[in-house]
Structure 1
Amino acid sequence: MKPSSSTLARENAASLYLQIASLLHEEINRGVYDPSGKLPSEAALCQRFSVSRVTVRLALDKLTEENVVERKQGKGTFVAGKQLRHGLDTLRSFHESLVIQGLKPEMRILSRHIVHTPDNVRNSLGVNMERSLLLERLHVVDGEPIALGRSYLPVEVETLSWEQTEQQPTYAILESLTGLRVVRADIGISAQAADKPLADSLKITVGMPLLVMRRLSYLSNEDCCDHSVFYIRPQHYEFVMSSYFKPVLK
C-alpha cells in the first residue's frame, strides 16, 4: 500500500503536527507500513510534509503517547505491537518465515560443536546417531533478539564454514549436504519461563514467559535430519494457520 496523498491545511501552523499524526495513524490502520512496521525516518517525513523536524517529532510524540507507535533509540519508529507471524501450514525454516515478511533478519552463532546426542534426541534422529552437531543461533531483527534456536544436526554439518552455518537457514544447509529436500516436519508449541542463560541471550528478565517451538524435520527419504527447539520472545510474535471445516462422515 502507498501513503495517503492528502495535503495539509496550513492556515494554522500549530495544528500541523496533529494533522500529520492523524494521517500517519490512518496509514498504520490501512497497513501501509507492513510487513516490518517501521515508519519512514524523521528526515523523510519532513521532506514529505514540507515541515520542520520539530513538527514531525511532535506528531510522533503524540502517536507514542497514544501507544500507536514505539520509538527505539538508534533504530527508528515502529508500529506498536507489530506482530511477526509464523505460518504453520507451510513448511519453512524459522529464518525464512521472517524473510518472507520483508524483514532482514540476522543469525548469530552462539555455539557450534560436536556433542554426544542426548537420549531423547537420539530416539528422534536415529539410534545410530551417537554424535551430532549442536548449533545454537540467535535470530535478530532490527538489532533486537527475537529467538534462540538450538538444533541437533548430522555431524557432516561441521564440514561447512562458520560463515555458511551463520548465513544459511537450516533447511538450505541440509539440502546442500544431502541432496535431498526437507518435505515435512512435526511441530509442537508450548511455553516456559526463561532461565538465566536464555534471559541473558534474549536480553530479557529471568522468569519472563517464552514461546517454545519444538521441531522434527524429515528428508524426502523419511530420515529425520533436524531436532530443533526455538525459544521465542512472545511480545511481537505469533503462530498462525488456516483451518477448514471437515464434516464428520456417518
Structure 2
Amino acid sequence: MSLIRNNPVAMYLQIADRLRGEITEGVYEPSGRLPSESQIVARFTVSRVTVRLALEQLDKDGLIDRRKGKGTFVAGKQVRHRIDTLRSFHESLKVQGFDATMRIVELTAIETPSAFIPLFGTKCALLERLHVVNDEPIALGRSLLPTFILELEREVAEQQPTYALLKDKAGTDIVSAEIAIGARAVSPRITSLTGAAENTVLLVLERTSYFDNGVCAEKSEFFIRPERYKFVLGNRIPER
C-alpha cells in the first residue's frame, strides 16, 4: 500500500504508522529487528531524512530501540525459552535469530560443594558465562561440570553451547534434564554483570542434565533479567 503523497498528514508520520502496525502484528519476529534505513527508503521511495523522522517518532513512542552499529529493534523484545525442549540456553537464543554471544567470566577448578560431591566427586569445574544479545547482557550462566571441561581452550568454551561442549568431550549424548524456575534477589556482583538495576529480583533457572548412561553432566543456574525473558511451555491435548 503506497503513501498518500498529498495527504496533510506528513509522510514520515504515515511511515511511522505503517511500521507501528507491523510491530503490533509481529511482522519483525522472531529477532525484533526492523529493516535498515536504506531498505525503508527503497520501500517507500522517500528521502533518508523522512525515514529518520519516522524512526524518531517511533523512538519517542517507546516502540523501538536504536542501537548504533547494530540496527533498529522492537523495544523490550523478549527472548522465549521453551522449557519442554532439551536445548542449551545459548542455542535457544540462536534458533530465535538473535545475535547471541557468550563471554567467559570464570573457568576454573574448584572444590565441589558438599551437596554435589555424589554427582562430580571432590573436584569439579566452574564455568561462568555472560549471555549477551545485541551487545546487551541478559543472563549469567553458572555451571558445575566434570573436570574434563578444563581441558578446553577458552576460545572454544566461549563459543560453544554447554551441551555441545559436554557431548564433544564425553563422547555421549545428554538425554534428559530436570528444570526448576524461580525468582530471587542476587548478589551485587551478579546484578552488575547482568546489567540489572540495583535490587532487581532476577529469574533463576536451575538445571541438572544427564548423559544417556545416567551420569550427571552438569548442574547449572542461569540468572536472567526478567524484562527480557519469557519461559514457554507447549502442550497438546491427548488423542482419545
Work out whether the TM-score is over 0.5.
Answer: yes
- Which stretches of structure 1, 4 residues or more, deviate above 6 A after TM superposition? none
Q: 1:131: which partner in 2?
A: 123
Partner of 2:43 in structure 1? Answer: 48
2-side partners of 1:163 and 1:74: how far apart? 24
Once residues 168 and 70 of structure 2 are traced to their aligned partners in structure 1, the CA distance between those partners, rounded to angstroms, is 35
Please give the TM-score of this superposition, normalised by the length of structure 1.
0.89
Question: Which of residues 112, 116, 122 in structure 1 aligns to 2:111?
Answer: 116
Partner residue in 1 for 2:10: 15
What does the per-residue CA deviation read over 1:154-201, in whole Å, with 9 as the maximum and x for residues that have no partner? 001111111111111110111111111000100010111232101221
Aligned-partner Cα distance in 2 for 1:30–1:204: 29
What CA distance in whole angstroms lies between the structure 2 residues aligned with 1:245 and 1:48? 43
Please tell me whether the aligned partners of residues 146 and 202 of structure 1 are also in contact (alpha carbons under 8 angstroms): yes
- Contact kept, 8 Å, 1:88 with 1:240, in 2: the verdict is yes
Q: Could you tell me how far apart the structure 1 residues matched to 2:58 and 2:82 are?
A: 30
Q: Name the aligned partner's letter for residue 196 of structure 2.
A: I
| SS of equivalent residue, structure 1 residue 235 | helix
Alignment partners' CA distance in 1, 2:166 and 2:101: 19
Task: Give structure 1 stretches of 5+ with no counterpart.
Answer: 1-5
Hey, what does 1:231 align to over in structure 2? 223
Matched, 1:240 2:232: yes
3-state secondary structure, aligned to 1:238:
strand
Q: Structure 2: which 5+ residue stretches go unaligned?
A: none
In structure 1, what is the equivalent of residue 79 of structure 2?
A: 84
SS at the partner of 1:26?
helix
Counterpart of 2:55 in structure 1: which amino acid? L
Q: What's 1:106 paired with?
A: 101
Q: CA RMSD in A?
A: 1.8
CA deviation profile, 1:90-131 (whole Å, cap 9, x unmatched): 1000011011101221011011100000112324x24xx110
The answer for the alignment partner of 1:66 in structure 2 is 61
The 1-side partners of 2:215 and 2:93 are apart by 26
Matched-pair contact (CA < 8 Å) for 1:115–1:132: yes
Q: Which amino acid aligns with 2:172?
A: L
Query: What CA distance in whole angstroms lies between the structure 2 residues aligned with 1:74 and 1:193?
Result: 34
1:10 is displaced (CA, Å) by 1.2
1:147 to 139, 144, 161: 139
> What's the CA shift string for 1:183-227, capped at 9, x where partnerless?
010001011123210122112232112110000000000111100
Aligned pairs, how many? 239
What one-letter code is carried by the residue in structure 2 that aligns with 1:176?
Answer: D
Contact 1:195-1:207 at 8 Å conserved across structures: no
1:162 corresponds to: 154
- Which is further off, 86-95 or 114-123? 114-123
Matched, 1:28 2:23: yes
Identity of aligned residues (%): 49
Mapped partners of 2:40, 2:223: distance in 1: 37
**Secondary structure in 1 matching 2:40:** helix
- Paired with 2:79 and 2:99, the residues of 1 have a C-alpha distance of 12
CA distance in 2 between counterparts of 1:73 and 1:161 reads 32
Partner of 2:179: 187
Partner Cα distance (1:97, 1:140) in 2: 13
The one-character-per-residue Cα deviations of 1:21-61 (angstroms, maximum 9, x if unpaired) are: 11112222232211110112223322322222221122122
